[in-house]
Structure 1
Amino acid sequence: MKKEEKPVVVKSADRVLDIFELFAEEKEPMSLMDISRKLGMPASSTYKILQNLQARGYLETDKQERAFYLGYKLFEIGSKYLQNTSLSAEFHQVAQKIVDDLNESVFLAIRDGGNILYIAEKQSSHAVRFVSHLGMKLPLHATAMGKMFLSSLDQEEIRKLYPDEELGALTSSTIHSYRDLLSQLEEIRSAGLSFSQGEAVEGVRCVAGPIYDSSKQLVASLSISIPSARMDDELWSRAIEWVRQASRELSTKLQFQQ
């Protein structure tokens, strides 16, 4: 009988995966010594791995370069994977129904640190419309989908994103007060929907809803964008109802149960 071969374990690769799994468990920025101590790894070799991961975009550091946290590269890989999963396929089916009814653009995004990352869209046929492109990023606080993600965070997590309480402006309508943002997030938590009034793009209004997975985690957000010139009360009301319905439908597809 042939002896079963044991899988080859590459120690350095194992340590990289240990670091990723540690960040997934801790969910907080950690210093070099924190990581070294928790994983029982020598500080010198831990430092080399962390520097390598930071250079490749898999880790980032705070302004003092003392605390590490997961970088954009992992989110980028995750978004590319997500585009090929059932969520993307289900989104296109739902979005097509919305476009058929409203003829307005529909978008799907995930969170990428302090930004949203557009991963799917279904455009309207109107000449005047908001056009994104896959992989485009916009600040969380300036977008309806971004504010939906912010509403899922506690105040400590939000504070880490805006340590100086400074909110960058994309337009003259972008929310600029940190206190106003916190107040708006409370309203979003109560309503279950979020809105943008020309805050990312002048003259474009958006409504966004949450998409949850089976573990009740907010994993994506769906939005409808409508130029103000085409807006009326009936269209806006129908868009809001579509976002509610589509968000529930996509969450159900991901096995979410309230």
Structure 2
Amino acid sequence: MAVKQIQNALDLIEYFARLKKPASLAEIQHHFGWPRSSAYNILNTLVERGYMYEPARRGGYYPTPRLASVSESIVSADPLNERLSALLEKLAAETGETAIVAAPAGRFSVYLDVIESTSPIRYAAHVGMRIPIHAGASGRALLSLYTPTERANLLSKITFEPYGTNALMNAEDVEAVLAASQKRGWYQSIREYSADLAAIAIPVVADERRFAIVVAGPQFRLEDKCADVAETMQRLTEEAGIIGASATMEQLAATS
């Protein structure tokens, strides 16, 4: 269950990311429809913790650099981020499509890093974007790294919806697709979550963490190249020194 106060604080931070200028208490209150006292309490808490300041008297509020500093400290402390980012850069360059690192987050796969294609027609994704874990290539690659018990428990909590024309509508169909995909070593979705979108993913394990490496783009460019793109993904992943889809399930289980 989501915590409302945390949701509001995060919504406020994202609001400033879009606005890119100070905002007054009244403007924030009006934008979100919050009671004045709630808006003030959130702002005052962030001010007291050093995440928000008042640039000028009556000039409104704006985030301090502390948020960026804390985020950078977290990201830079993990050398795996550099390895995965370098892998995405190579994938995007070789395939010409959007490259993504995804990880499990409950009933979703969440995008941790994204390198968008430079093509005018491309899959537009962003860090933090969430996809129902059963509905796309990224989630299915991640589900392949779950034990059967883990997977059954998770799928039992999912509400299956017809996101796309080829959407899977029950746990049995998901398991059948996973079994077929595991044999060939890669996972795909074509018009299963988004119209006219194709995606290819491979599961990887790095530093005892489960990830999916994804290449996604317009169906008309990718559908006939899925196997070739998957081969490129596997080659570059192995060159990066990450355990990929070619590893046995015993190896994956031992490191997950």
TM-score when scaled to structure 1?
A: 0.60
What is aligned with 1:161?
A: 154
1:216-251 C-alpha deviation (Å, 9 max, x unpaired) = x45211110121122363x43431112212333445
2:222 matched to 1:231? yes
User: How far apart, CA to CA, are the structure 1 residues paired with 2:234 and 2:217?
Assistant: 16
In 1, the alpha carbon distance for the partners of 2:183 and 2:75 equals 28
Counterpart in the other structure of 2:34: none
1:178 equivalent to 2:171? Answer: yes
Quick one: which of 206, 219, 222 aligns to 1:213?
Answer: 206
Residue of structure 2 aligned with 1:134, choices 115, 121, 127? 127
* Runs of 5+ unmatched residues, structure 2: 8-70, 252-256
CA contact (8 A) 1:211 1:248 kept: no
Task: Provide the aligned C-alpha RMSD in A.
Answer: 3.4
Letter in 1 for 2:212: S
| Equivalence for 1:40 | none
Cα-to-partner distance string for 1:29-63 (whole Å, 9 max, x where unaligned): xxxxxxxxxxxxxxxxxxxxxx9x99979xxxxxx
TM superposition shift of 1:156: 2.4
CA distance in 1, matches of 2:144, 2:82: 26
Query: Residues 54 and 99 (structure 1 numbering): CA distance in 2 closer, same or farther, change over 3 Å?
Result: closer
Residue type of the alignment partner of 1:225: A
| Alpha-carbon distance, 1:173 to partner | 1.8
1:244 maps to: 234
Question: Counterpart of 2:228 in structure 1: which amino acid?
Answer: R
Residue of structure 2 in register with 1:95 after alignment: 88
Alignment check: 8 A CA contact 2:190 2:223 kept: no
What one-letter code is carried by the residue in structure 2 that aligns with 1:230?
Answer: R
SS of equivalent residue, structure 1 residue 211: strand
Deviation at 1:94, TM superposition (A): 2.0
Counterparts in 2 of 1:221 and 1:164: CA distance versus 1, 3 Å: closer
Distance (Å, rounded) in 1 between the aligned partners of 2:234 and 2:173: 24
Per the TM alignment, residue 194 of structure 1 is displaced from its structure 2 partner at its CA by 1.0
Take 1:160 and 1:232, find their aligned partners in 2: how far apart are those partners?
Answer: 32
- The CA deviation at 1:86 is 2.2
Deviation, structure 1 residue 152: 1.9
Matched position secondary structure for 2:242: helix
Stretches of structure 1 lacking an aligned partner (at least 5 in a row): 1-50, 58-77
Are the aligned partners of 2:201 and 2:215 in contact in 1 as well (CA < 8 Å)?
A: yes
Distance 1:155 1:100, change over 3 A: closer
CA contact (8 A) 1:152 1:218 kept: no
Which letter maps to 1:133?
A: H
CA distance in 2, matches of 1:91, 1:246: 11
SS of equivalent residue, structure 2 residue 193: coil
The answer to whether structure 1 residue 118 and structure 2 residue 108 are counterparts is: no
1:210–1:247 contact (8 Å) kept in structure 2: no
Equivalences for residues 138-157 of structure 1 within 5 A: 138-157=131-150
What CA deviation, in whole Å up to 9, does each residue of 1:152-172 have, x standing for no partner? 223322222232674233222
Partner-residue secondary structure (3-state), 1:238: helix
Range with greater deviation from structure 2 (237-246 or 193-202): 237-246
Aligned length: 183
Contact 1:166 1:178 in 2 (8 A): no
Misfit runs of 4+, over 4 Å? 53-57, 80-84
Given the superposition, is the C-alpha separation of residues 181 and 98 from structure 1 closer, same or farther in structure 2, using an over 3 Å criterion?
Answer: same
2:205–2:243: 8 Å Cα contact kept in structure 1? Answer: no
CA distance in 2 between partners of 1:163 and 1:237 (Å)? 31
What is the identity, as a one-letter code, of the residue corresponding to 1:244?
Q
Give a deviation string over 1:107-148, Cα, whole Å, max 9, x none.
001110111110101111111111111111111111111001
Paired with 2:135 and 2:237, the residues of 1 have a C-alpha distance of 20
The verdict on how the C-alpha distance between 1:189 and 1:132 changes in structure 2, with shifts beyond 3 A counting, is: same
Q: Which residue identity lines up with residue 234 of structure 2 in the other structure?
A: R
